[in-house]
Structure 1
Amino acid sequence: MIVPDIGVRANVRRHCASASSMATRDHRHHSTKKTSLTPVLFLSVSLLGVASLFVALSFFRVSSSGPSLPPDHRNFELDSAGVGETEKREAGGACDYLDGKWIYDPAAGPSRYDHTCKEIYKGWNCIAGNKSNAIDIVKWRWKPHHCDLPQFDPIQFLQRHIDTNIGDVRKWRPAGADRGFTFLQYNLTIAYHRTNLLVRYGRWSASINGGALESIGYKEGYRVDVDVPEKTWAEAVRFHDILIFNTGHWWWAPSKFDPVKSPMLFFEKDLPVVPPVPPDVGFDMVLQHMVPFVEKRIKPGAIIFFRTQSPRHFEGGDWDQGGSCQRSHPLLPQEVEEIFSPTNNGTNVETRLVNQHLYKALDSSQFIVLDITRMTEFRADAHPAAAGGKKHDDCMHWCLPGVTDTWNDLFIAHLNDIKVRN
């Protein structure tokens, strides 16, 4: 579900190996694993991150020494009106967790797991991959201006969510990788449901008998049924007490859906939408159908989140155009705007464009918007880059330990605020 606050320093005896023995992972199976935990074990589960699922168990004790800042540290304040959306429905209470800054704390370090944890996907293990600033990545702590973002306490989380089912619906890992964990002592299940577009889609080819699309020259593409949820998650809605949705990256991905060679062709009520509409309009149609689909089927009292986009940080071109992400520090506010402002139409512009569609579709809905975009836009330094093991810089996924740990803190803080209010 989530991950750590970098500002709290902990001296940790890490036992990631025990996670492998107590919560075995098997990428070949879809079934939910059952895990037995004792109260002294420390749990860190990534639900929201674009990371692979990992469970790290460790003993810990927190150091009480305060942070000391080096003379060359950089504090970055987040301008709420200038970065990301200015109008939103906050998931939390009085505290605006998004109005804050990244603070460098030289004493900070991975407080729950480190690079020895076997659950970390090799390409995202930046410490083991010898990324030059991998250690510094976790020394940056997100600090809201008017409150604190507490560090996710896994034992407290387990105790508060006894007899709870949590589902994460998003693009994650290859097809067939849906899986989860059950913590038997607490009867807590965390399950992952993979989806790229939220709805059913597949290859489409022109029929020899002709049709509406064939008559206007279409020969092939991808059929996207805007009103049919993908089966990987459709039934899960009735099961979970907490659901977190995420979609968007593939909607603005010419490498996935070439607008000429393999365009997205939208269908509604089993009929093609004619004339064909562009992906952004199709995305709106999908949200118009899927939001009420979820709302009508959730369990009474269920909490539903929609997570905003995880920003990419390609500079000098996209991933297949020589783009890179070689920053060693978070971006300054003006740099964030240069890279992400839609008016600049840059390589990473889809982040805010997708969010605009999300906010519009989710307005007045039962969904709680979990905005991880605004704080994360600053973190151009936290991608695997050349250490990801690809032929190009990986400026989309995140180093672990890293920024997604803070997403987890944010998610848990919002959950706790909701429970307090209720």
Structure 2
Amino acid sequence: MAHHLHRNTSPPPYFLRFPSPALRLSLLLIITLALLYAASVFLLHPSSFSRRLLPPPPPCGAAAADLSAGRWARDSPRPLYDGSCPFHRNAWNCLRNGREGMDSINSWVWLPDRCGGQPIPRIDPAAFLGSMRGRKIGFVGDSLNENFLVALLCTLRSADGGAKKWKRKGAWRGGYFPKFDVVVAYHRAVLLAKYTWQPVDNSAHLGQDGVKGTYKVDIDVPADDWANVTKFYDVLIFNTGHWWGTDKFPNETPLVFYQGGKPLDPPLGIIDGLEVVLNSMISYIEKEVPEKTLKFWRTQSPRHFFGGEWDHNGSCVFGEPLKETELDSWFDTKRKGVNKEAREVNSLIQQALLGTNIRSLDLTHMSEFRADAHPAIWLGKKDAVAIWGQDCMHWCLPGLPDTWVDILTAQIIYNLELG
């Protein structure tokens, strides 16, 4: 049997089917000239191509570098709200509480190196609410996220006087802006994971001297306060860290970590416990929060206790921000000072966020300077300082968190526009 070689019978390319070699040559020349022209336009005007191929550069305040590379400078910004805002929490309402130096506290602006000497633009509350129409923003974490929330609520209220208090879906507090159909709320979950009190009678620690009971922390179970709202919000901002210390959980009432309903063996110390909870809660967020939801993790808000801890006469009655050369003496983890926990916790947070789609909102460095901006002794209640000490952890409002608001809202708008 004869074997025949297979021949490709498909037609030649269109331009090779012209009968005249001259026509084929002309067509090839036209194609070559068109490609050369396109290349020259790209080389001379690359921006016209990059606009179509690359996302636009982030505006000032919306890039990660804007938060860690910059300086504070005096200016004359006007706060967008005052002590009459109905969303205030008493201890942070420094205007009403007569906190000295409020004009100075609100005279500083953050100048990112990337922004050519310009400050981060102030939020336009009406424009922001308009761009968020029909959407919901949720904060989850401890009272420093509540501090942040109040600044945002009071700022946005300047564009919607009909704003109402909102407490649904298990929210600790929040606001609804009817003019724009926008919800902004806070879910209190100080450890993020579920934790429950176990009296000594029901504890494995029965008989140990001084132990009154333990707090059972289920590292694989989110707190009820936020576990069921993962699909409700369009934007979520998480934090934890300030409760992870022996001042909140001393030896007589320690944290004990459980997984699958059983205590971890060997038992974990509080910092190791934080690390496993971070990883577990971030895994839960990635699994349960929709991909389209914009997710942020706010890094630690630094404390400024000078001369001792909060319960040992720590003070923060300062009139000026710290200098950059002073920061390490306050916050370097090697120095074992009372304020070192911010950087210590941040290292665990940044490690846990690697490879996730949760954006780090790193407000720590810019806030380290602002030893001048805490409520300190102006807490709104006569005996508050005698009972609780100075507040060198939370922030006066209006004050530093308003700059956080400018940054957060810039990042929200930029990332939502990217889609």
Q: Fold-level match, TM-score > 0.5?
A: yes
Counterpart CA distance in 1 for 2:208 and 2:375 is 44
2:188 maps to which residue? Answer: 194
Contact 1:109 1:135 in 2 (8 A): no
The runs of 5 or more residues in structure 1 that have no matched partner are: 1-90
Report the alpha carbon displacement of residue 219 of structure 1 after superposing the two structures with TM. Answer: 6.7
User: Is 1:103 paired with 2:73?
Assistant: yes
Change beyond 3 A, Cα 1:161–1:273: same
TM-score by length of 1: 0.72
1:180 maps to which residue? Answer: 174
2:94 maps to which residue? Answer: 126
| Alpha-carbon displacement from aligned partner over 1:265-293 (angstroms, at most 9, x marks no partner) | 11110001122110111111111211111
The letter for the 1-side match of 2:222 is: P
DSSP-derived class of the 2:328 partner: helix
The letter for the 2-side match of 1:135 is: D
Contact 2:142 2:189 in 1 (8 A): yes
2:141 maps to which residue? Answer: 170
Q: Relative CO higher for 1 or 2, CA cutoff 8 Å, sep ≥ 6?
A: 1
Counterpart CA distance in 2 for 1:315 and 1:188 is 40
Report the alpha carbon displacement of residue 360 of structure 1 after superposing the two structures with TM. Answer: 0.6
Q: How does 1:387-406 map to 2 (within 5 A)?
A: 387-389=378-380, 390-391=384-385, 392-406=389-403
User: Is 1:278 paired with 2:269?
Assistant: yes
Report the alpha carbon displacement of residue 193 of structure 1 after superposing the two structures with TM. Answer: 0.8
Report the alpha carbon displacement of residue 251 of structure 1 after superposing the two structures with TM. Answer: 0.6
DSSP-derived class of the 1:324 partner: coil
User: Is 1:307 paired with 2:278?
Assistant: no
Contact 1:158 1:186 in 2 (8 A): yes
Counterpart CA distance in 1 for 2:417 and 2:64 is 12
1:358 maps to which residue? Answer: 349
| Alpha-carbon displacement from aligned partner over 1:361-403 (angstroms, at most 9, x marks no partner) | 1111111000111100000000111112422221111111100
Q: State, as a whole percentage, how many aligned pairs show the same letter.
A: 39
Contact 2:138 2:237 in 1 (8 A): yes
The letter for the 2-side match of 1:198 is: L
Q: Which moved more, 1:121-130 or 1:235-244?
A: 121-130
2:362 maps to which residue? Answer: 371
Q: How does 1:410-421 map to 2 (within 5 A)?
A: 410-421=407-418
Counterpart CA distance in 1 for 2:212 and 2:74 is 55
The letter for the 2-side match of 1:108 is: P
Counterpart CA distance in 1 for 2:64 and 2:206 is 55
User: Is 1:143 paired with 2:137?
Assistant: no
1:227 maps to which residue? Answer: 220
1:257 maps to which residue? Answer: 249
| Alpha-carbon displacement from aligned partner over 1:277-330 (angstroms, at most 9, x marks no partner) | 101111111112111111111224111100011111000001100110021000
**Which of 150, 157, 170 in structure 1 is aligned with 2:128?**
157
Contact 2:99 2:375 in 1 (8 A): yes
The runs of 5 or more residues in structure 2 that have no matched partner are: 1-60, 148-166
Report the alpha carbon displacement of residue 232 of structure 1 after superposing the two structures with TM. Answer: 0.5
The letter for the 1-side match of 2:77 is: A
Decide which structure has the larger Cα Rg and report it: 2
DSSP-derived class of the 1:369 partner: strand
Give the strand-richer structure, 1 or 2.
1
Contact 1:169 1:194 in 2 (8 A): yes
1:407 maps to which residue? Answer: 404
Counterpart CA distance in 1 for 2:335 and 2:177 is 47
Change beyond 3 A, Cα 1:95–1:386: closer
Counterpart CA distance in 1 for 2:275 and 2:188 is 20
Contact 1:305 1:368 in 2 (8 A): yes
2:53 maps to which residue? Answer: none
2:159 maps to which residue? Answer: none
| Alpha-carbon displacement from aligned partner over 1:223-257 (angstroms, at most 9, x marks no partner) | 111111001100111111111001110012x2220
Contact 1:123 1:384 in 2 (8 A): yes
DSSP-derived class of the 2:68 partner: coil
The letter for the 1-side match of 2:396 is: C
Change beyond 3 A, Cα 1:219–1:320: closer
Counterpart CA distance in 2 for 1:225 and 1:309 is 23
Counterpart CA distance in 1 for 2:107 and 2:240 is 29
Report the alpha carbon displacement of residue 418 of structure 1 after superposing the two structures with TM. Answer: 1.4
The letter for the 1-side match of 2:287 is: K
Counterpart CA distance in 2 for 1:251 and 1:359 is 16
Q: How does 1:5-16 map to 2 (within 5 A)?
A: none
Contact 1:127 1:135 in 2 (8 A): no
Give the helix-richer structure, 1 or 2.
2
Counterpart CA distance in 1 for 2:212 and 2:313 is 32
Runs of 4+ in 1 over 6 A off after TM superposition: 173-177, 215-219
Contact 2:375 2:392 in 1 (8 A): yes
